[in-house]
Structure 1
Amino acid sequence: MTPTRFDLNAPEVIADPYPHYAWLREHAPVYHDRDLGLWVLSRHDDVATALRDSDRFSSDTGGPWSDLSANPFNPSMKVAAPVARAARRLPAPRVLLTSDPPDHTMLRRKVSRAFTPRRIASWEPRIRQITERLLSQMTARGGRVDLVRDLASPLPTTVIAEMMGVPPERQDRFRRWSDKAIDGLLTNGSLRSTLHGTAAMSAYFAAAVRKRRRNPRDDLISLLVTDGDEAPLSAGELVTFCILLLVAGNETTTNLISNTMLALMDNPRAMEMLQADPGLAGAAVEETLRYDGPGQGLLRLTKADVTFGDVTIPAGHRVLPLIASANRDPRRHPDPDAFRLDRGRTDHLAFGTGIHFCIGHALARLESTVAIESLARLGLTPRPAGTPERINSPVLRGLRTLPLTLT
């Protein structure tokens, strides 16, 4: 059915957004959702412009609309006006994801030491070890398994927790906290759940930061605590950084692994190619990033009037560049709705572009590739064993469950 308007939070859009993105690209490439107070960009070149032009498109989404009652990804989340006003008066720590230069430059330099190519590559043996253990447990169960529960979720959770020096007995609890913290990005998600997960992680990381300041270790938290050449981060900024790394390290990679497996099962020829050559796992992950990536869009705020074609977006307005739509734009990617392992291109926008290009992209790619490759080398064919449960979010694209049989 051809859409006539775009509703970001509609169930049919969350279930399969790509026909709706195609309608946007052709009929309303600069779409104004007056109900949400949001401008939506859908064509590749426009999306890339908004992500790269940090002078006109701010990532610092502060201001009068930043209160807890103005969430375009969960319009049902309502907060009493006095509470929203009180929240706006609280001191806001600098956050890598929602900052502009010069703060962003300093914060990125601070954390980039932990994500150098050499440091990430050094984790590959451990990632393979964790993956083999999880796959051994999966095959030992026999019959029906759940890819999310048994592999896609515990793998990145274990890796990022070990990188941050979180003890093994805390890792399941951290995954539950992380799931709660993103509830605010889910349509009809719970504010109480979001606050509970965030508060629990904040308390843990506040204690961990104090310990690392007294006794640094060889882990990610200690690296953040160490001043280096930059001004030291405040306790609140350190805690916020830790939460961001944990949640992003969990959510993105979990969804990338599950989306890749779902795309392979929906495209039997690609699955056959992978089973014949498990070395194609990297190509499968890369194509999934373009075809059905874990992130659908990123919020920006215009700092000046910006014109696309014959439409002008005024200064001070929220903009949602739809990176997943850009990745299906036939102006950029021929035959965009086909899942092809021979595409051989990495010029998608799944990890963003410009100064906010995802700092953890190499880790997400490595973990996902190892997971898909290791599963292919088992010589077992994954087959659907039930209906997957999708994350109910317009911006987080992934699965909560993916029941399979391995035959």
Structure 2
Amino acid sequence: MTETGTVAFDLNDPDVIADPYPHYARLREHASVHHSTAPDLWLLSRYDDVVLALRDATRFSSDPGTGGDFADNPFNPSTSLPGWATRLIDRVLPTRTLLTSDPPEHTRLRKKVSRAFAPRRIAQWEPRIREITESLMDELADRAARGESVDLVRDFASPLPTIVIAELMGIPAARRDDFKRWSDHLIDGLLTGGDTRRMATSAAAISLFFARTVRQRRRHPGEDLVSLLVTPDADGVLGTMDLIVFCVLLLVAGNETTTNLVSNAVHALLDRPAVWQQLIAEPGLAAAAVEETLRYDSPGQGLLRCTTTEVRLHEVVIPAGARVLPLVGSANRDPGRWDAPDEFRLDRNSNDHIAFGVGIHYCIGNALARMEARAALETLARRAPALSRAGHPIRIPSPVLRGFRSLPIRIEP
């Protein structure tokens, strides 16, 4: 546990992970710029400060190398990568990703991949996303009819983005289980009690898979997202390693974000029967429910940055080379920005939330995640109005990934 002034805050405390919001409120009020020594992080909790840090790519760098040695995992120190794995990753994946680069490298990468996520292109996928959602709902209903257990995460919220991303990338249906396993291992290796050896093995397997996929698409391009990325444009082509890293990032980030968004939304709605009934009566409110979930219980609670120079905020000096964690989850509950921020309401204008980041690193896949989540909530409200809990939910053991590993539900005819 660490202290700044009179405020004690432990990022990895199980109580904080279970419900971080009362702890965020204390930080915002008493230590909005908080220095944690274990792990060594500077925490920003107020909306304006978080937005400042995320917009200012000059002073708050996204390059992890700016903050020194990142062999440790600051979010769950007990699962630090062993030295051999860190050295292997440094050798095999020396390139920067969209998440871990600054201009001009970030500008180059962003420009290259943005065409694959153009709004018009993503909008064309809505009918197919709704087909997938209906199919998953059919399977849920069949399981319930057979008297089998139904888990929202395992049977619905997790398969949805996995299938969508696999089809976007032109990956055969037979490899979806591999996709899901690799993605889960990469995420779980960063969590408390996670298996870092399995994480490293899956990282190698998925990198090899995408290396082969990139070579195949260069020889025989199709209509899928990978083919679009390997096609040269006016600025040339992306390197093979850039393409592999982006494909891995898309798979892992896309799966985890959407899965957590859907499960967090259903969890919040089941806690509020009156709001759930609102959605049943008017499924079009699914868009509002998605935005309010993003604000109220964001799938990503923080975005890591490193200072390139000394920064003064509220008379507190953050030194150069410091690791800074702008707490997106706290910013989205700041009473200085929203009225009654701890209430979940569908009549709220939640458009100022920063669940997808802000500035140059604004999530490139936000439209896809929103579309999937809207389809999921509309389908559940229409086909499972008597949805209820069937057991104790299990949260992801992470201070930065907010969601569920299991959310048992009951579906009545």
Q: TM-score, structure 2 length as denominator?
A: 0.94
User: Residues 7-406 of structure 1 correspond to what in structure 2 (within 5 A)?
Assistant: 7-63=10-66, 65-68=68-71, 70-79=72-81, 84=86, 88=90, 92-142=94-144, 143=147, 144-406=149-411
- The Cα RMSD (Å) is 1.6
Label 1:91 to 1:148 Cα distance change in 2 as closer, same or farther (>3 A).
closer
* 1:6 alignment partner in structure 2: 9
Q: What runs of 5+ residues in structure 2 fail to find an aligned partner?
A: 1-5
Label 1:13 to 1:353 Cα distance change in 2 as closer, same or farther (>3 A).
same
Assess if the C-alpha contact under 8 Å between 1:253 and 1:368 holds in 2: yes
**Counterpart amino acid of 2:298?**
G
Bigger Cα displacement from structure 2, 41-50 vs 19-28: 19-28
Bigger Cα displacement from structure 2, 72-81 vs 208-217: 72-81
Q: What runs of 5+ residues in structure 1 fail to find an aligned partner?
A: none
> How far apart, in 1, do the equivalents of 2:240 and 2:23 lie?
43
Assess if the C-alpha contact under 8 Å between 1:300 and 1:320 holds in 2: yes
C-alpha displacement of 1:89: 6.0
Assess if the C-alpha contact under 8 Å between 2:68 and 2:321 holds in 1: no
**Counterpart amino acid of 2:143?**
R
C-alpha displacement of 1:156: 0.7
1:319-370 Cα offsets, whole Å, 9 max, x none, are 0000010000000011000000100231101000000000000100000000
**Counterpart amino acid of 1:163?**
L
C-alpha displacement of 1:82: 6.8
> How far apart, in 1, do the equivalents of 2:154 and 2:174 lie?
17
C-alpha displacement of 1:16: 0.7
Q: TM-score, structure 1 length as denominator?
A: 0.96
**Counterpart amino acid of 1:23?**
R
1:62-108 Cα offsets, whole Å, 9 max, x none, are 1573442x210120134555765675566611211100011111111
Assess if the C-alpha contact under 8 Å between 1:145 and 1:405 holds in 2: yes
For residue 97 of structure 1, give the secondary structure of its aligned residue in structure 2.
coil
Label 1:64 to 1:17 Cα distance change in 2 as closer, same or farther (>3 A).
closer
Report sequence identity in percent: 60
> How far apart, in 2, do the equivalents of 1:332 and 1:256 lie?
22
Label 1:82 to 1:130 Cα distance change in 2 as closer, same or farther (>3 A).
closer
**Counterpart amino acid of 2:357?**
G
> How far apart, in 1, do the equivalents of 2:16 and 2:327 lie?
13
